[in-house]
Structure 1
Amino acid sequence: MREILTGGCQCGAVRYRFEGPAPAAYACHCGECKKQTASAFSMSIPMHYDDLHVEVLPSSFETIAHSGKTKHNYFCGKCGTRLWHSGSNPPDKITLKVGTLDDPSGIAPQGHLWVSRKQPGIELDPASDQQLTQPDDLEAWRANLGIRECR
């Protein structure tokens, strides 16, 4: 069953929508994700940017990912909410931040990255896949867990 999923930033200046079943997500516990969410971890959904219908284009800045590759970080220029990341600008494939969905209640992480940097006191589902760092082939890891880019 396809549904329309919507989301956006805290202040409402940037809004988006996409169609599909509730997508599979993963959580990352690395230091960068903790910092960008101001929380214990970040949850992401891999998808194609073309499937995301964005009403107002966000701002962006570049960082260097753990892999050494450039990462483009997209955020609301008014309130600063981080919305998604991409390896390219303009974006092609992105990782949408689950916390920006209007209703993320049906989305649980299928796997966890950087568990070696997990915040103390955070309990993970023992049945979930848990990687101490990041797999060399992130796309293969996602696919193995059934975390496929939305289409």
Structure 2
Amino acid sequence: MAITGGCQCGAVRYSLEGALPAAYSCHCGECKKQSASAFSMSVAIDTANLRWTGDPAMFETVAFSGARKLCYFCANCGTRLWHRGSEDSAAASLKVGTLDDTVGIEPMGHLWMSKIQPGIAIAKDVPAFDTQPDDVAAWRTSLVKR
């Protein structure tokens, strides 16, 4: 069964084959800006399983961690859809808020807790890092849905 989503205006739509991985939240300054909220929630996906229609725009930035990040978004409405580390990267971070159905999705881990917005409470039994683990990709794949 395909998982579907897209931007606010509908100009870019996507589908993802396979089961949706566990979601995680990031509280860094970059994620706060891109989501225009207190944090962003993402799922790590294999870009080989991602198909889209429309023409997503891309800009390059430097992540809060210092890593290079390619950010894909709708050029019409500005919705951030996914980002990845390079053009040839097999992995991407898909933004949970762009999914058509978000029922039952909750973060199974948190990054950059040192930058958490005051007043945001997280479950005490969910793994959390002051910054991020040395191997973020391995950490993402280690997350398990409850």
Scaled by the length of structure 1, the TM-score of the pair is 0.89
One of 107, 112, 120 as aligned partner of 2:118: 120
Deviation per CA, 1:6-46: give whole Å up to 9, x if none. Answer: 10000000000112233211100001000000001001111
Secondary structure at 1:95 match in 2: strand
Q: 1:60 to 1:12 in 2, by over 3 A?
A: same
Whether contact under 8 Å (2:112, 2:129) holds in the other structure is yes
Q: 1:84 to 1:104 in 2, by over 3 A?
A: same
Whether contact under 8 Å (2:28, 2:64) holds in the other structure is no
One of 3, 6, 10 as aligned partner of 1:5: 3
Percent of pairs with identical residues: 57
Within the alignment, does 1:26 sit opposite 2:39 as a pair? Answer: no
Whether contact under 8 Å (1:111, 1:129) holds in the other structure is yes
Question: What are the ranges of 5 or more consecutive residues in structure 1 without an aligned counterpart?
Answer: none
Deviation per CA, 1:87-125: give whole Å up to 9, x if none. Answer: 112553110000000111121111000111111111101
What is the distance in 2 between the residues matched to 1:52 and 1:141?
21
What is the distance in 2 between the residues matched to 1:45 and 1:82?
13
Secondary structure at 2:93 match in 1: strand
Secondary structure at 2:2 match in 1: strand
Aligned residue for 1:82?
80
Deviation per CA, 1:41-71: give whole Å up to 9, x if none. Answer: 0011111111011112300000012343321
One of 46, 70, 79 as aligned partner of 1:48: 46
Task: After the TM superposition, list the runs of 4 or more consecutive aligned residues in structure 1 that deviate by more than 6 angstroms.
Answer: none
RMSD across aligned positions (CA) = 1.5
Scaled by the length of structure 2, the TM-score of the pair is 0.92
Instruction: Read off the aligned partner of 1:130 and give its amino acid letter.
Output: A
